[in-house]
């Protein structure tokens, strides 16, 4: 069975169109995936950079808060005296909470020279 010339031209044209469309779909898929991966990598890199900057700023802020505590001789003397006297955790807790309200930090822990907890603002009952 022989096909007519018109049918052969139609089949060849259909095959060429199908190949062209298939090639376009594959090319679009490959390049689209590559662009998506590159965009995702760039977004992650920017997010990581922002996160690092925020962490550095928070660390600097905490350092400044620590310097405020260390530079106040009255506060240091009060904590040292209260740490030397057993049962003074409540008074230290009061001053830490006062400073917390003034400075806006999340929590503070006062330790004695051996590293035992005297008072902490996030757990007022903690000691030892």
Tell me the average pLDDT of the chain: 86
Residues across the chain:
128
What is the SS3 assignment for 107? coil
Q: Is the pTM of this model over 0.85?
A: no
pLDDT in tens, 111-124: 877 778 888 888 77
Integer-rounded Cα Rg, in Å, for the chain is 35
pLDDT at 26: 96
Mean pLDDT of 53-76: 86
Angle 5-71/89-103 helices, nearest 10 degrees? 130
**CB-count burial class (<10 Å; 0-12, 13-18, 19+) for 93:** buried
Which pair of structure tokens corresponds to residue 5? 């010339």
Residue 127 pLDDT > 70, yes or no? no
């Amino acid at each position: 069975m022989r096909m007519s010339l018109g049918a052969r031209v139609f089949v060849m044209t259909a095959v060429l169109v199908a190949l062209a469309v298939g090639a376009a779909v594959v090319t679009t898929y490959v390049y689209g995936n590559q662009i998506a991966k590159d965009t995702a990598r760039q977004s992650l890199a920017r997010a990581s950079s922002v996160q690092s900057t925020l962490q550095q700023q928070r660390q600097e802020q905490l350092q400044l808060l620590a310097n405020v505590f260390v530079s106040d001789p009255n506060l240091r003397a009060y904590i040292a005296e209260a740490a030397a006297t057993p049962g003074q955790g409540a008074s230290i807790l009061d001053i830490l909470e006062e400073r917390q309200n003034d400075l806006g930090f999340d929590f503070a822990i006062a330790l004695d020279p051996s590293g035992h907890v005297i008072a902490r603002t996030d757990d007022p009952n903690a000691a030892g």
